[in-house]
Chains A and B, each alone.
Chain A
Amino acid sequence: MAHAEGERYFRRFDRYNRGLHLALMISFLGLAATGLPLLFSGVPWAARLSRLFGGFETAGVLHRIFAVVMLTTFALHVGRLLVRIVARGENLLWGPSSMVPQPRDVHEFVGHVRWFLRRGPRPAFDHFTYWEKFDYWAVFWGMAIIGGSGLMLWFPELFARVLPGTAFNVALLVHGEEALLAVGFIFTIHFFNGHFRPEKFPMDPVIFTGVVPEEELRDERPGEYDRLRREGRLESLIAAAPTPGMRRYGYIVGGLALTTGVFLLVLILRAVFY
């Protein structure tokens, strides 16, 4: 997407959050690639993929390393949230900068569906849309369910001191099914919402470059654009245009991640409809 020379850019994601997304993305793909062979152990590609990682033991070690990276990423995110809310007194629990679901999300969802059906105008989305909030809380849910069950399966002898043996039956089932939900959701819905829908296709590099061109901000988040202008804060968010190197990095890393995800999605679909 070529943008006009001299166009203004606005900051959307800071360096810290982009770093967290990168770590989350790499660990997520790593966990998916090393975990899916076990989930679909009965299909031919599963054994091949498992051997590619050096067998189930090595794949298991890699799976645990990626899990530690992901849990660390999660901890760093929650830690920073606490610092921003408690120490700096930022208002992240309500309002447009908050990920907390609010009545406006319901209105925007209804409005969005009405727009799908040509029954009304496109909602004036603000900083975070309802589908972005769903993605965000899905990670929280997944982190608790998949992470928790994963730790149980990693240290069964430790957890068996307090939990009954049948808890591990449930943990194994939930770990696999939730993981299927997570990878299936990310590789279809998140990919479409964030990258593959025609307005963004082939991808939106904002999560890698951190900045969004003015025209895009005005088009897609008019609520935020107007609010920032009203509050006189728009100018304070102006950022330098992404350098060619930054842009290239975004497209290469993002493209690789999207390709890996779609490849794994094809494997899953082959296994499910095998």
Chain B
Amino acid sequence: MRTRWLALILWAWTCAAVVPPARAQSPTPPPNDDCLACHGDPSTTRADGRSVAVAPESFAKSVHGTLDMACVDCHADLAKTTEFPHPDRLAPVNCATCHEDAVKAFDASVHAAARQGSGSTGATCVDCHGMHDILPKSDPQSRTYHLNVAATCERCHTASAGKGAKPVGSAFEDSIHGQALKRAGLLVAPNCASCHGAHEIRTKDDPKSRVFRTTVIGTCTACHAGIKPQYDSSVHGQAAAAGNKMAPVCSDCHTAHSITAVDADRWQLAIIRECGTCHEQSLRTYRDTFHGKVTELGFTRVAKCSDCHGAHGILPASNPQSLISPERRLTTCQKCHAGANENFAQYDPHADPHDRERNPVLHGMSIFMQVLLAGVFTFFGMHTLLWFPRSWQARRARRHRDEPPPDANPPADAAAGEE
């Protein structure tokens, strides 16, 4: 007896899940063929001339078509209509009837928020998923198939599209992630939704966003798992965890959309300047060294910040594990300078000639050199300035002597110029 009741309840649940409630409410729902009698004709238009045609075969192939759903399952207000042709304006389709969670997530998104404001048209369900031709995201033809998502987003997020959408344009397409998707066709490469989410996309300033400063670390390390322990133990990771807003997170160094391979020259040179946005003094003193000058000229085959300090696992010099700790510094130098010894490793790669405390000898030599240069150029500069007019006179006097002028009366000052 009890099992029979259970079976009945189960059957009722199944009906409720599979059969949309709209159909249940209508005693005589019009079959799809009735609708297609008009809407199946490609030339069908509304009173204002807009096409209202539906391609029957593309609906048949869609995820909703393959579930044998009726037109009135979505266009619910037509389920009870008996007068045809029906009025021009229908109630908007409510996807939440079935896709409650997705729409709830969407309602919290920047796209939904944009629709609240005037003039802005944030994307809705149909902008990303399509309308009658919606395909499941597992279908390579789908707008939401992993490799197609970027193109779907870029329909709005280009410089030309406007509509209040922030342009991403070619930045992502040219990035290592974009290239992995587009050229290598990698399903493991992230598309827009991998970082931003799909329905609940929030702005990066929103603490609940997947790309908020501190949250983005978890978003990146969801794939780059091996980096997480390194970063978490580093000075930067520790500071970020402690709530220091100045501490760099993944996107500060790698950027958000323009992420490039770390062996690209342009990035290797740019990251030096990036480190210098916080470490100003270190960048300045680095630029005084051979390493810093060569990289400033645009060449990368010399030590850059990360060659000595590391990248994700940067530790303070006081930590014996640090690449620049007294214990490990020589080994770090020897990565490039194979014959380096203890003396060599005492070279100060961030020496500051202005800092008497840190580099007393260098400071003294710097002052000596400045005095020497100023002295020599001042002395000989004055010597030259004084000599010039007299040399000019001497030249004129010689010319007069070589070719005596007709009046044979040389200028008095030129004559005085001769001894």
Binding site for B on A (CB under 8 A): 37-39, 41-42, 46-47, 50-51, 55-57, 112-113, 115-118, 121-122, 124, 131, 153, 156-158, 160-166, 168-170, 172-174, 177-178, 180-181, 184-185, 188-189, 192-193, 197-199, 201, 219, 222
Contacts and interface: CB of A to CB of B under 8 A. Distances in A.
Chief secondary structure at chain A's binding surface = helix
Given A115-B390, A156-B337, A199-B391, A173 B344 contact: no
A180 B347 CA distance: 23
Contacts of A173: 288, 353, 362, 365-366, 369
A113 B362 contact: no
B357 interface: no
Given A166-B347, A199-B398, A56 B365 contact: no
Interface stretch (B70-78, B132-140, B156-164, B376-384): B376-384
Contacts of A42: 287, 296
Interface stretch (B28-36, B52-60, B194-202, B297-305): B297-305
B289 A172 contact: yes
A131 B386 CA distance: 14
Given A166-B359, A172-B289, A38 B297 contact: yes
A189 B294 contact: no
A165 B343 CA distance: 5
Q: How large is the interface on B (under 10, 10 to 19, 20 to 34, 35 or more residues)?
A: 35 or more
Interface string B376-403: 1100110110111011101100100000
B387 A197 contact: yes
B85 interface: no
Interface in B273-298: 287-290, 292-294, 296-298
B268 to A, nearest CB: 15
Given A56-B299, A170-B365, A177-B373, A41 B395 contact: no
A46 B297 CA distance: 7
Chief secondary structure at chain B's binding surface = helix
B416 A164 contact: no
B404 to A, nearest CB: 14
Interface string B337-358: 1111101111110010100000
Contact of A166 (B289, B348, B366, B418): B348
Contacts of A219: 398
Interface of B: 287-290, 292-294, 296-299, 301, 337-341, 343-348, 351, 353, 359, 361-362, 365-366, 369-370, 372-373, 376-377, 380-381, 383-384, 386-388, 390-392, 394-395, 398, 416-419
Nearest to B419: A121
B343 A161 contact: yes
A172 B369 contact: no
Contacts of A193: 384
Given A166-B346, A168-B347, A173-B369, A198 B386 contact: no
Contacts of A46: 296-297
A198 B394 contact: yes
A161 B298 contact: no
Nearest to A162: B343
B419 A122 contact: yes
B346 A164 contact: yes
B351 A169 contact: yes
Contacts of A198: 388, 391-392, 394-395
B289 A165 contact: no
A39 B337 CA distance: 22
Nearest to A222: B419
Given A41-B297, A189-B380, A170 B398 contact: no
Contacts, number: 144
Nearest to B375: A181
B341 A161 contact: yes
Contacts of B416: 118
29 contacts: A37-B297, A38-B293, A41-B296, A112-B387, A115-B390, A116-B387, A122-B417, A124-B419, A153-B290, A157-B337, A160-B340, A165-B344, A165-B346, A166-B351, A169-B351, A170-B362, A172-B289, A172-B290, A173-B366, A177-B369, A177-B372, A181-B373, A188-B381, A192-B384, A192-B388, A193-B384, A199-B391, A199-B394, A199-B395
A174 B339 contact: no
A184 B416 CA distance: 33
A57 B339 CA distance: 20
B296 A169 contact: no
Contacts of B381: 188-189
B187 to A, nearest CB: 40
The 5 A-B pairs with the shortest beta carbon distances in the complex, nearest first, are A165-B346, A157-B339, A121-B419, A165-B347, A160-B344
Contacts of A50: 297-299
B296 A55 contact: no
- Residue of B287, B337, B341, B394 most packed against chain A (CB within 10 A): B394
A233 B386 CA distance: 35
Contacts of B388: 192, 197-198
B301 A57 contact: yes
B395 to A, nearest CB: 4
Contacts of A37: 297
A270 B301 CA distance: 28
Nearest to A220: B394
A50 B361 CA distance: 31
A124 B366 CA distance: 40
A191 B332 CA distance: 47
B387 A174 contact: no
Given A199-B395, A219-B398, A116 B366 contact: no
Contacts of B372: 177, 181
Nearest to B417: A122
B297 to A, nearest CB: 5
B376 A157 contact: no
A38 B289 contact: no
A50 B370 CA distance: 26
A239 to B, nearest CB: 22
Nearest to A51: B298
A113 to B, nearest CB: 7
